[in-house]
C-alpha cells in the first residue's frame, strides 16, 4: 500500500470526505482506513499541518476544503460544546469543579489549533479535543479537592490517568492517519516511557515526590492501556465469538461483524477468526479477502491475517480436511 506521495491533479472528490460524526469515529477507531479514504478523495497528505492543507485548499482542492472545515468544526465547536455539557452533568451529579472549566475548554481548543500548525491538523484536533475533556477531571476536579488533597496520591493518579489516556488514544490515531499504519509496539512503549517521565520531571522539583510519582506511574499505565486499546479487546473477543457462533449455528453471514473490520488499532489477535473464515470461504471468498485486507491494517493481526486466509482456502479445497486453527 502506498505511503505518502502525490495524487493525480484530476482527483478531487469532496463527497468522499466523511461527515462530522463519522469523521470523528474513523479518526478514533479506523484512522488507517480514513487515511486511504482521504487519499482517494484527493487529499495528498491527510496528516499534514494546517498551513499545508490550507495551501491545497487555496489551490482549489474542494476535498481538502471540506476536510479542513469539518476538522476545525470538531476542534473549535464540537469539543468545547461536549466538554461544557459533560461539565454541567458532573456538577449536577455533585462532583465539585474549580471555576473556569468553560474557559479551559476553549483554551484547549486554541492549543489544539496551535498543535495543528506544528504537528498536523489531525494531531491538533485529537490532542485539543481529548485534552478539553480530560481537564474536567485532571485539572478542575482535582483543584477542587474532589479526590482528596490537591497534591495527594489519589489526585496525582487521576491527573496521570488523564494525561496518559489523552496521549495514548491520540498516539495510534495520529500515526494511522499520517502514514497509513499504526505505530509499532516498540514505538508505543517508548512513547509511554516519555509520557511518564515528562510529568515526573515537571513536578518533581515543585511538589512532593509522592504526588509526582503517582502522576508518572498512572500516566505510564494509562498510556499503555489506551494506546493498546485493552478495554476494547474484551469487547472484540466477545464480538468475535458471537459472530462465529451465529454463522456456525444459524448459517447467517456475519463476517461483516468481525471487529478487525471496524477497528484498526487492536494489538492482540482476535479469536475465532480462522474458524469463521473457514465457514465463509467456499460461499463468500470476496468477504474472506476483505477480512484479510483488514487484518493487514491491524497491528495485532497483520502477521496472521493472510496465513488465516491460506488455511481457510486450503480447508475449502477438496483435499482440506480440517478447519484452520485460530
Quick one: pLDDT band at residue 67, thresholds 50, 70, 90? Answer: very high
Main-chain phi, psi angles of 69, to 5 degrees: -60, -45
Main-chain phi, psi angles of 301, to 5 degrees: -125, 0
Cα 177 from Cα 32, distance rounded (Å): 6
Average pLDDT value for the chain? 87
Most confident listed range (2-6, 162-166, 319-323):
162-166
Asked whether residue 312 carries a pLDDT value surpassing 90, the answer given is no
CA-wise closest residue to 128 among 160, 90, 83, 182 = 83
Quick one: pLDDT band at residue 308, thresholds 50, 70, 90? Answer: low
Cα 257 from Cα 229, distance rounded (Å): 19
Instruction: Please state the domain extents for the chain.
Output: 74-228, 231-315
Q: Is 57 left (phi over 0), alpha (psi -120 to 50) or beta?
A: alpha
What is the value of pTM for the model shown? 0.86
Q: How do residues 181-211 score in pLDDT, each as one tens digit?
A: 999 899 999 999 998 888 878 776 666 777 8
Q: Which percentage of the chain shows pLDDT scores above 70?
A: 88
DSSP-derived 3-state class of residue 214: helix
Q: Exposed e or buried b for every residue in 286-308, given b needs 16+ CB within 10 A?
A: ebbeebbebbebbbbbeebbeeb
The residues, ordered by sequence, that sit 6+ positions from 226 with a Cβ below 8 Å of its Cβ are 164, 165, 167, 168, 169
Residue with cell 515526573: 200
pLDDT at 317: 56
Amino acid at each position: 500500500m502506498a505511503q505518502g506521495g502525490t495524487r493525480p491533479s484530476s482527483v478531487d472528490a469532496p463527497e468522499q470526505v466523511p461527515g462530522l460524526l463519522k469523521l470523528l469515529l474513523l479518526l478514533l477507531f479506523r484512522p488507517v482506513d480514513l487515511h486511504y479514504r482521504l487519499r482517494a478523495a484527493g487529499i495528498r497528505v491527510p496528516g499534514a499541518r494546517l498551513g499545508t492543507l490550507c495551501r491545497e485548499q487555496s489551490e482549489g482542492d474542494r476535498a481538502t476544503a471540506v476536510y479542513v472545515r469539518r476538522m476545525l468544526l470538531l476542534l473549535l465547536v464540537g469539543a468545547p460544546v461536549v466538554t461544557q455539557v459533560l461539565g454541567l452533568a458532573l456538577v449536577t451529579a455533585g462532583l465539585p469543579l474549580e471555576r473556569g472549566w468553560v474557559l479551559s475548554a476553549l483554551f484547549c481548543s486554541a492549543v489544539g489549533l496551535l498543535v495543528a500548525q506544528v504537528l498536523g491538523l489531525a494531531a491538533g484536533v485529537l490532542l485539543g479535543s481529548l485534552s478539553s475533556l480530560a481537564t474536567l477531571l485532571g485539572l478542575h476536579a482535582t483543584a477542587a479537592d474532589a479526590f482528596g488533597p490537591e497534591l495527594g496520591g489519589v489526585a496525582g493518579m487521576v491527573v496521570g490517568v488523564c494525561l496518559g489516556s489523552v496521549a495514548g488514544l491520540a498516539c495510534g490515531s495520529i500515526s494511522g492517519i499520517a502514514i497509513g499504519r499504526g505505530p509499532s509496539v516498540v514505538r508505543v512503549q517508548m512513547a509511554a516511557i516519555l509520557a511518564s517521565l515528562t510529568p515526573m520531571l515537571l513536578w518533581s522539583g515543585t511538589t512532593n515526590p509522592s504526588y509526582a510519582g503517582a502522576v508518572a506511574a498512572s500516566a505510564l499505565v494509562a498510556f499503555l492501556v489506551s494506546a493498546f486499546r485493552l478495554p476494547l479487546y474484551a469487547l472484540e473477543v466477545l464480538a468475535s465469538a458471537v459472530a462465529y457462533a451465529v454463522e456456525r449455528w444459524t448459517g447467517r453471514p456475519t463476517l461483516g461483524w468481525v471487529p478487525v473490520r471496524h477497528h484498526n488499532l487492536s494489538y492482540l489477535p482476535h479469536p475465532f477468526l480462522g474458524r469463521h473464515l473457514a465457514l465463509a470461504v467456499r460461499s463468500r471468498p470476496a468477504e474472506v479477502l476483505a477480512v484479510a485486507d483488514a487484518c493487514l491494517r491491524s497491528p495485532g493481526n497483520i502477521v496472521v491475517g493472510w496465513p488465516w486466509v491460506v488455511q481457510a482456502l486450503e480447508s475449502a479445497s477438496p483435499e482440506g480436511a480440517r478447519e484452520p486453527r485460530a
